[in-house]
Each structure stands twice: as structure tokens, then as C-alpha cells.
Amino acid sequence: MKKKILIIDDDPEFIDSTRTLLESEGYEVLSESNGEAGFLKAKSTKPDLLLLDVMMTYDSEGFDLAKKLKLDPATAGIPVIIVTGIQRAKSLPFGFEPDEDWLPVKRIIEKPVKPENLLSIVSEVLMRS
């Protein structure tokens, strides 16, 4: 059975290229362009993994959604990987680390990400979940 991955990102080019990459590896890919629609799709489709951008409708939308997903019993078990360009876009002098309370995700990847790195991390997170 194909593993289902939901991409929540407002960049259609990122979604298209990532969809092509993941589908070439046998994954089923769903997508939404904002946190609200993504949350509803996560609840209704129960993906095996979620790739989540941070800066969408507002700058911290992905961070807020990660917390919301963790708090909802219907989505709490879905592993989340944040794929973001926030550090570069905001010239932040610090990075982010997964944290069970503040940022309940499995991994954080800074954009742009090399395709082989993304596939490796996706595979690793799916195997551990």
C-alpha cells in the first residue's frame, strides 16, 4: 500500500516539484496551500506524513499548525516535517529544533533542499513512525 504524504505549502512550484519527486518514488501525494485547508485535509485523509511550510498566509502559520495538529486527537499521530525558508527570508541568526511542546515536529529542513536529501529524510521519518 502506498504511503500518503500531505504537502501544505503556498508555493505551487514547490508543491509541483515535490509531488513529482515523491510520486516517482511511489508515494501518494496530496496538497493544500494554507494551514486551515491543510488541517482539514489532514483530519479527513489521515496521511502517513505531512510536509509543512512555515510562512504561508502569515509568517508563523506553519508553527501554529504544527501545534494544532499535535493537540487534536485525530491528527496527533501524524509525523510532521517542516520544510521552510524562514531562516533565510527573515535573516534569523538562529535555527529551530523540534521540541515536544513548542515545535512538535520530527525534523526541520531549510529550503532549498536537495531532492536526495528530502527523499532520505522522508524515508527515515516514515520508517520510525
What's the pLDDT score for residue 105?
A: 87
Rounded CA-CA distance 91/68 in Å is 26
The three cell numbers locating residue 77? 499521530
Question: CB atoms < 10 A from the CB of 90, how many?
Answer: 11
Q: Please report, for the domain that includes residue 104, its CATH number.
A: 3.40.50.2300
pLDDT tens, 51-99? Answer: 999 989 888 899 899 999 999 999 999 999 999 875 554 444 445 565 6
Q: What's the domain range around 17?
A: 4-128
| pLDDT, tens digit, 9 for 90 and up, residues 114-129 | 999 999 999 999 999 8
- Distance in angstroms (rounded) separating the CA atoms of residues 106 and 97: 9
How many domains in the chain?
1
